[in-house]
Amino acid sequence: MPLTPEEKRRLLEFINKGKDEFTPEEADEFERLAWRFWSEHMDKREAWYLLLYAAAKRGETYGKYNKKLTPLDLA
């Protein structure tokens, strides 16, 4: 299912966010949206980079908050 205009706007907000400004919940949402974007545009290199970036930001954020990183429910 394609991203809605609201989800696209939210994804851009996350992309433009400063490196230390994510909460764990936002990092989860960012990675979920990045997965959805990737599933729509997996033929584009930028989609892969976005997914890797979102996963890295999630890992950094969880480390910053000393939380255990668990797999996302992408269903």
Indicate whether 71 belongs to any domain: no
Of 62, 68, 72, 53, residue with least CA distance to 23? 62
Indicate whether 75 belongs to any domain: no
| pLDDT of residue 19 exceeding 90 | no
Total domains in the fold of the chain? 1
Give this prediction's pTM.
0.90
pLDDT of residue 75: 67
Contacts from 68-75 at CB under 8 Å and sequence distance 24+? 72/28, 72/31, 72/32, 72/35, 74/32, 74/35
Indicate whether 17 belongs to any domain: yes
Indicate whether 74 belongs to any domain: no
Q: Tell me, what DSSP letter sits at residue 18?
A: -
Share of residues in the chain with pLDDT > 90 (%) = 83
Indicate whether 15 belongs to any domain: yes
Instruction: Give the structural domain span for 25.
Output: 5-64
Share of residues in the chain with pLDDT > 70 (%) = 99
pLDDT of residue 20: 75
